[in-house]
Structure 1
Amino acid sequence: MAWDTALAQAIKGTSRAEANRKPQPWYRAEVVQVTPKLIFAIADKEFKFDSSTGLIMTATAKSKTWKVGMQAAALLHGAQLLVLDSL
């Protein structure tokens, strides 16, 4: 019985810690493709964004000449990535 209680308390503590964790404020996005579409990727290239899949850019970021491998500061909100500027 004591083992069940200890396990339940451990699970409860873990779920509270997860609930209180704040989302990451910004991401380091990397240009993985330039033509025919500009594509940025985050999280070890697991998530990719282009103009048809939620990529949004500030005027500063749009004015840059992007090359494959360049990095940018970006904010993720839902399924949209806002690229702020190059790093």
Structure 2
Amino acid sequence: MAWDTEMALAIKNTSRAALAGQPQPWYRAEVVQVTPKLIFAIADKEFKFDSSTGLIMTATAKSKTWKVGMQAAALLHGAQLLVLDSL
């Protein structure tokens, strides 16, 4: 339960930061690998995230069957990428 609250607060604070003129934290993440690990990339595939390097997924995103080339809406917070859902 605490994780859900923390995630909701992070999204709320991120939205406020965007309204205050700070850089937009939303990214279009792309699946670049599915096996042996699911890997998402952002910023022209310059930054890659998997479960051992800061990839976090909502329950909705986790329930998807991801394929290479699919895209998702994601939030970048520090060194972690939170994948929200497919686009």
Q: Percent identity?
A: 96
**Partners of 1:32 and 1:46 in 2: CA distance:** 11
TM-score of the aligned structures, taking structure 2 as reference length? 0.75
Partner residue in 2 for 1:38: 38
Q: Deviations over 1:38-83 (max 9, x none)?
A: 0000000000000000000000000000000000000000000000
Q: Which amino acid aligns with 1:75?
A: L
Cross-structure match for 2:78 = 78
Q: Give the structure-1-normalised TM-score.
A: 0.75
Q: CA deviation at 1:25?
A: 2.7
Secondary structure at the aligned position of 2:22 is classed as coil
Structure whose alpha-carbon radius of gyration is higher = 1
* Two-structure CA RMSD over aligned residues (Å): 1.2
CA distance in 1, matches of 2:70, 2:41: 11
Cα distance, 1:24 vs structure 2: 1.5
Following TM superposition, where does structure 1 have runs of at least 4 consecutive aligned residues deviating by more than 4 angstroms? none
Deviation at 1:21, TM superposition (A): 5.4
* Structure 2 unaligned blocks of 5 or more: 1-19
